[in-house]
Amino acid sequence: MAFTLSKETRIGWIGTGVMGVSMAGHLMDNGYTVSVFNRTKSKADSLVEKGATWRNTPREVAENSDVIFTIVGFPQDVEQVYFGENGIMSGVASGAMLVDMTTTAPSLAVRIYEAAQEKNVGSIDAPVSGGDVGAKNGTLSIMVGGDKEDVDAIMPLFEIMGKGIVYEGKAGSGQHTKMCNQITISGTMVGVCESLLYAQKAGLDLNTMLEAISGGAAGCWSLSNLAPRIVNRNFEPGFYVEHFVKDMELALAEARRMNLALPGLALVHQLYKAVEAQGYSKKGTQALTLALEHINNV
């Protein structure tokens, strides 16, 4: 599908949570006109005050936009936003472009793509990694699936929001890549939290220890960005525990479908279910430390 991006292109944005509000804001800062919708209207207030136009339903966003971005919570939210009553598919016009940046099931990305094709609408799955920090700084990693022509057409919009933008292949490929990302992070988070717990028990200065290991082979995004939050007892979300649990469950389901055994991922999933059971589902993923402290009576 031929699509031409210009400064007159109307942007729709659905999902103004921890990450979405910053991502949409960057597009506005670059001169794009934006229509917004969020299930909780107050979370879009800062964008409306900045000049975005509030729309009452996803359908209204679609009716008034040329490119519609979505970044919501769970697969059922994506289903509702696209296919529910007053959803995007009921209002999107021929020639428009859909971009789902939620982490969701690869099969759902393919379903959206196929429904879009029937309407002569482009569809891209483009989940992100980098948390609230990456969203605020415009440095997200974006994993992209869909038709290459469509991806190339809106690449300037991705470049406003991220730095590591990689085209992965056909529809659903972006979501599969995000599963790989989450599988890797799941194991990393256990290592980060357990290393801090060990250092505390050993009587080390936590900041000094982190300075030492961050420059070596252990260095990674989670160690640099989330370990300092743990040290400062800051468990507010850059990425919610409940969303991480959802991602791990998606990856485990895809692994079962492919007849893969991923015991490490299964273990981390159970640890994070313990975090949820302790009442921390709305905290950041670094709250895994709290569950490990509970297990060790620290």
Q: Which residues are catalytic?
A: 178
Distances in whole angstroms, Cα of residue 163 to Cα of each of 60, 140, 158, 236: 31, 6, 8, 25
Residues 6 or more apart whose CB falls under 8 angstroms from that of 157 comprise 5, 11, 27, 32, 67, 99
Q: Which of 3, 5, 239, 43 is nearest to 14 (CA)?
A: 43
> With DSSP H G I counted as helix, E B as strand and the rest as coil, what are the percentages for the chain, rounded to 5?
55, 15, 30
- Beta carbons of 182 and 103 less than 8 angstroms apart: yes
208: its two tokens = 């000094």
What 8-state DSSP symbol labels residue 284?
A: B
Residue type at 177?
Answer: T
**What SS3 string covers 128-186?**
EECHHHHHHHCCEEEEEECCHHHHHHHHHHHHHHEEEEEEEECCCHHHHHHHHHHHHHH
Question: Which amino acid belongs to residue 241?
Answer: V
